[in-house]
Amino acid sequence: MNPPDSPNQPDISIFEQTGSFAENKDIARRLREEVIIPALRSGQAVRIDFSQVTGATQSFIHALISGPIRQFRAFALDNLLFENCNAEVQAVVRIVFAYMQESMDDS
């Protein structure tokens, strides 16, 4: 397993993918399937950079991380690294994380 600061650790720039507002669930799904899940499967952390992003929908964040959290559980919770989130994005990410943790506790 690679440490979190591994040079080949995937970094995702949300701004480069979505522009200043992250709402396109198709982009979130593609990032989830092509970057996040393969990285977690190989034991890597994933940095998700929200620099220059002013907002994100709950459905975007859910599409981005709910599957990996269901599949990899605590490893995903520990290794999905959200960076440079403003207060609005932080609030949305927290809501989705809380929802996912609650749903895992129920199962």
Q: Tell whether 6 is covered by a domain.
A: no
Q: Tell whether 59 is covered by a domain.
A: yes
Q: Tell whether 4 is covered by a domain.
A: no
Domain with 80, as residue range(s), is 11-106
Residue 2: what pLDDT?
A: 41
Domain count along the chain: 1
Rounded to the nearest 10 degrees, the angle between the axes of helix 87-106 and helix 58-72 is 40
Please state, in angstroms and rounded to a whole number, the distance separating the CA atoms of residues 86 and 91: 9
pLDDT tens digit sequence for 27-81: 999 999 999 999 999 999 999 999 999 999 999 999 999 999 999 999 999 999 9
Pair 60, 22: CB distance under 8 Å: yes
Q: Tell whether 5 is covered by a domain.
A: no
Q: Tell whether 3 is covered by a domain.
A: no
Q: Tell whether 60 is covered by a domain.
A: yes
pLDDT band at 103 (very low <50, low <70, confident <90, very high): confident
Mean pLDDT of the region 17-26: 98
